A = this chain, B = another copy of it.
Amino acid sequence: MKFVCMGGSARRALTFAKLLAREFGYDDREVLAYGDTERYSLYKVGPVISVSHGIGIPSLSILLNEMTKLLISAKAQNPVYIRMGTSGGIGVEPGTVVLTTESISPKLTPVFEQTVMGETRYYPTLLTQNLNDEIYQLRNQLPVTMGKTFSTNSFYEEQMRSDGLFNPSFSNSEKLEFLHKLYEMGVRNIEMESLALSAFCLQAEIPVAVACVTLLDRLKGDQVLASKEELLDYSNRSHQLILSYIKSKIENGAM
């Protein structure tokens, strides 16, 4: 086992597992989840684990602890962790895959916080630069960019959406000013997991990348305007990119 590919939903984990199976010449109807699927769904296809982590940092953090302990027990050598998902874009065309260089917290710092026994601890959130470079070189015709990722603990409130339950406490122009400020800081997309994933992998010394496609440009609005077919195409782009990376590593004899 060499590559751990993660995404939010069980459906995405299965979709990617089937893509891998077809690529490796297996019958994709034989792709079955390992173990219990009450909390997470895990598939193993050749040297790749495809697994769901749920929504947000708390759900992800349990998976990271438990899966990494399993890999250590299984004596897996030098695994690489890659998260694929969707995100809101900032100043990039919808459908762009953003490779995260560094994750930025809601407090606008590249820091993940955990409070243990009442004491807050701070962890850096850099992603693995040479892994990003390797993946970026394989982008081929896909729209791929590198940038920072704003990583929040809520989808509506902390991402300043105007279509949550509560009326926003800010004007549209204040929101746009803030989004432009994020852009100036080098942020190109917004999601909900990379802050903890990067911090965990730095601590555990595991190379890690986050490749999330953008579904909209938040500088232009809060609603996704792409059609169902476009969204499916967008969603597949991070899979295609990471599949190219995995194939290139296998062909270059990294296995």
Q: How far is the CA of A203 from the CA of B164 in the complex (A)?
A: 13
B160 close to A9 (CB less than 8 A): no
Q: How far is the CA of A155 from the CA of B69 in the complex (A)?
A: 15
B59 close to A55 (CB less than 8 A): yes
User: Residues of B contacting A115 with CB < 8 Å?
Assistant: 105-107, 158
User: Residues of B contacting A57 with CB < 8 Å?
Assistant: 56, 58, 153-154
B117 close to A154 (CB less than 8 A): no
**A225-243, CB under 8 A of B: which get 1 and which 0?**
0000000000000000000
Closest Cβ–Cβ distance, residue A186 to chain B (whole Å): 16
B203 close to A166 (CB less than 8 A): yes
Closest Cβ–Cβ distance, residue A54 to chain B (whole Å): 5
Interface-forming stretch among A22-30, A60-68, A127-135, A210-218?
A60-68
Q: Decide yes or no: A118 and B114 within 8 Å by CB, A38-B9, A38-B11, A58-B56 being known contacts.
A: no
Chain B residue at minimum C-beta to C-beta distance from A164? B65
Q: How far is the CA of A146 from the CA of B251 in the complex (A)?
A: 60
Contacting residues of chain A (102-130) with chain B, CB-CB under 8 angstroms: 105-108, 114-118, 120
Q: How far is the CA of A192 from the CA of B156 in the complex (A)?
A: 19
B117 close to A153 (CB less than 8 A): no
User: Residues of B contacting A59 with CB < 8 Å?
Assistant: 54-56, 58-59
Chain B residue at minimum C-beta to C-beta distance from A11? B38
Contacting residues of chain A (25-44) with chain B, CB-CB under 8 angstroms: 38-39
Interface of chain A, main secondary structure: loop
Q: How far is the CA of A156 from the CA of B203 in the complex (A)?
A: 15
Q: Is A175 engaged at the interface, CB distance under 8 Å to the other chain?
A: yes
Q: Decide yes or no: A61 and B203 within 8 Å by CB, A38-B9, A106-B118, A170-B117 being known contacts.
A: no
- Specify which of B55, B114, B203 is in contact with A58 (CB 8 Å cutoff): B55
Q: How far is the CA of A160 from the CA of B10 in the complex (A)?
A: 28
A-B contact pairs, 15 of them (CB 8 A): A54-B56, A54-B59, A56-B59, A58-B152, A59-B59, A61-B154, A61-B156, A64-B165, A65-B155, A69-B165, A105-B115, A106-B118, A108-B118, A116-B157, A117-B174
**What residues of chain A have their CB less than 8 Å away from a CB belonging to chain B?**
8-11, 38-39, 54-59, 61-62, 64-65, 68-69, 72, 105-108, 114-118, 120, 152-158, 160, 164-166, 169-170, 174-175, 178, 192, 203-204
* 4 nearest A-B pairs in the assembled complex, by CB-CB distance: A56-B58, A106-B115, A55-B59, A65-B164
